[in-house]
Chains A and B, each alone.
Chain A
Amino acid sequence: MKNQALSQTVQKLGPLLGLGAIVIILSILSPNFLELNNLLNLLRQVSINALIAFGMTFVILTGGIDLSVGSMLALGAALTAGMLSSGFDPILAILLGLMAGAIMGALNGFIITKGKVAPFIATLATMTIFRGLTLVYTEGRPITGLGESVAFELMGRGYFFGIPVPVVLMIISYGVLYFILKKTTFGRRVYAIGGNEEASRLSGIKVDRVKVAIYSITGMLSVLAGIILTSRLNSAQPTAGVSYELDAIAAVVLGGTSLSGGRGWIFGTFVGALIIGVLNNGLNLLDVSSFYQQVVKGGVILLAVILDRKKAS
């Protein structure tokens, strides 16, 4: 049994070792990489994908998938920006935007549980619907003129004791979600549902309710990422967040969470998001063309998953 525990630890360390290796290589290739400024900048870039990927971790742990995160991000951001530009109180606008995200996510959850639609299909459809609604609402144009509100500017551009606010938000979210997953009955139910949905149902777990909650959390986190993005750009783009679901899923998988559900951890997702962020940042520093960047990123994901498979077998 000791061996089992040991191999589990090794498996858990895998993503971290991978991250370390990439960091070392990049710091050798590019002396600028390890500068504090660059690292803070990197973390800020990572925060958007990380927030989405945290939600995605819950979804994937239950054996589901959410393809609509990028569209929820865009619609939530557009709604928030719309409210800001028409003079809403900024804090109220942000809260209403987050609520819209929770409602969009809950809708996903209801379609999946009550409509008994496979998560892939359900969120593929809502991805298109939410994107369409965003285009309708924005008339296909960016929303600008978001006012001079400090609270809103802080979301994307502010600092908290020298740390970018998006990074602070990411760390707070991580802490809360880690606690939920590890220490609460809700977290336990998430793992149980992913491991064996029928056994969970027969153990008195209200599976549908848990799933709706999970998709709802994911919607809210996506919109939070969207608001950060809007604040950084000082405008809401109708095409924001396109294909963000892929980076989020990649982060979850790189972190070692099983796509079939039941096994995984949110720390791994954090590391996975960092790996993707470090690659993006480092390849930029090295002046690698964005076309090649995609090839490298895809290759790394493939390599990580293959290594994971090898360990598992």
Chain B
Amino acid sequence: MNKQALVEMKGISKAFSGNQVLTNVDFDLLPGEIHALMGENGAGKSTMMKILTGIYERDTGTVFSKGQEVQFKDAKEAEKAGIAVIHQELNIIPYLTVTENMFLGKELTVGKTGILRMAEMKKKTEEYLSRLGIDIDPNIEARELSVGQQQMIEIARAIAADTDVLIMDEPTAALTDREIEALFKVMRGLQEQGVGIVYISHRMEEIFKMCDRISVLRDGEYIGTKVIKETNFEEIVKMMVGRDIGERYPERHVELGPERIRVDKLSHEKKFRDVSFSVHQGEILGVSGLMGAGRTEIMETIFGSRKKSSGEIWIDEKQVNIRNPYDAIQLGIGFITEDRKDEGLVLDLSVRENISLTNLKRISSQSVISKTKETELVSKMIEKLRVKTSGSEQSVKSLSGGNQQKVVIGKWLGIDPKILILDEPTRGVDVGAKKEIYQIMNELTERGVAIIMVSSDLPEILGMSDRILVVHEGKATAILDRQDANQEIIMQAATGGNSHEKSGS
């Protein structure tokens, strides 16, 4: 540990318009080290890295680069100091060749004429690629490469710029197993050359295989740093999620009724396979998993907005065929989507028009909308959900997040749903409105509605669900009763930790 750190960040804090996202966080990276940065979605990992690379300004704290205190103004300055980021979305231009991509923005020219020195650039590209042990023809267009190969080009580009700190954000998310192996080989090679790598990932297996140390953030706070060889899976998970569940959730005493919906071996070509579960009347099924695990896609498929490749859906013991959202609504399914602004609301329309949208049949006769019925429905919903508006004519654009979410809920309560799917129902919603939304969910279950709640918020899952379905990479890895579940068990199933234990020991 007497090597000088490539990067050292001390006491970093950051708030966005009063919202504290980082509080006094430390982080350091040694030469030749692969250092994992872990935490739940929204724990502050990417904010931390954006502060390092100068995209965000820190409120407090200091950053050292090779012993020098620095404050980068933008990503370009950080790059000059040898810090490069490999983003999830690659910066590769498909119709340019590998060489052209490698030298994009820093082309070698004859003097200042702008005439390119193609031969030399090609030679250098070959050199860098071979140094990384990659076999790619520098003359082919980038679009002919696989995602993994494109990523290699980006890494080569970073190395070409004398990078010694490489930040990789979920680098394996889009790669095949073989590409992951190739990437790991390259990473090992870089490690030997003394490059330090910050490795951001949700995948426990990979972290335990590749990394030297791991730092954990939770809710913007620094929890600790462990040497991988001296820790274990359980300890890391505990660090990630260990937080008290107070009385944030209303109590539930609901008698479960008969089975309302059963999903049997539902599969989608690419996103998930053989997912089975059932929900009873009055039950809340929590659906947990990491981002990109396929949770939302499963819900979209049940709701008919995404095509299934196989599998069956049964409602009240009858098999149903849901081809589109219209069919789903006819069967009494409501779907409160994850993305309010793009999928839930028509922002230009008023509160009234948005609530009416799913209920047009109910408030009209012979296709003519009855003003009386519409006003009745809308004011009932506004009152029931306590939407704070200046009136039903206010445009939903100007409402707060919590109130917008209530309008979306109102839209779906109007159809008297038998089954209500809520995807991240409390994201971007303040604490008060959160509890109100939970109370509405409870009231619905008391009336026999079956609720499926997708959430990345583990305390919410544990606080509200009767049973919990855990999804990992398109597969249902666990269905747990609430009394058997805790955050560690869920996280383990959600990160594929079970298979790690089996194959690792």
Contacts and interface: CB of A to CB of B under 8 A. Distances in A.
Query: Are both chains from one complex?
Result: yes
A188 B353 contact: yes
A268 interface: no
Contacts, number: 77
A263 to B, nearest CB: 6
Interface string A236-280: 000000000000000000000000001100000000000000000
B2 interface: no
B303 interface: yes
A183 B391 CA distance: 20
Contacts of B348: 195, 262-263
Chain A: interface secondary structure? helix
Interface in A1-40: 1
Contacts of B328: 204
B367 A184 contact: yes
A191 B368 contact: no
Contacts of B346: 191-192, 195-196, 199-200, 262
B325 A203 contact: yes
Contacts of A189: 360
Contact of B343 (A1, A185, A188, A202): A202
B232 interface: no
A193 to B, nearest CB: 9
A205 interface: yes
Interface string B320-347: 0000111011100001010000111111
Q: How big is chain A's contact interface, by range?
A: 20 to 34
B297 to A, nearest CB: 14
Given A192-B346, A199-B343, A263-B348, A204 B364 contact: no
A252 B46 CA distance: 46
B337 A202 contact: yes
Contact of A203 (B358, B368, B369): B358
Given A1-B390, A199-B344, A184 B369 contact: yes
Among A199, A204, A206, which residue has the most Cβ atoms of chain B within 10 A?
A204
A184 B360 CA distance: 9
B330 to A, nearest CB: 8
17 contacts: A183-B368, A183-B369, A185-B364, A188-B360, A195-B347, A195-B348, A195-B349, A199-B344, A199-B357, A201-B305, A201-B324, A202-B337, A203-B357, A203-B358, A204-B328, A204-B358, A205-B326
CB-CB nearest 4 A-B residue pairs: A195-B346, A204-B329, A185-B360, A196-B346
Interface of A: 1, 183-186, 188-189, 191-192, 195-196, 198-206, 262-263
Interface of B: 303, 305, 324-326, 328-330, 335, 337, 342-349, 353, 356-358, 360-361, 364, 367-369, 390-391, 394, 411
Given A196-B346, A202-B344, 9 more contacts: A1-B394, A183-B369, A188-B360, A196-B342, A196-B343, A198-B342, A199-B346, A199-B357, A202-B325
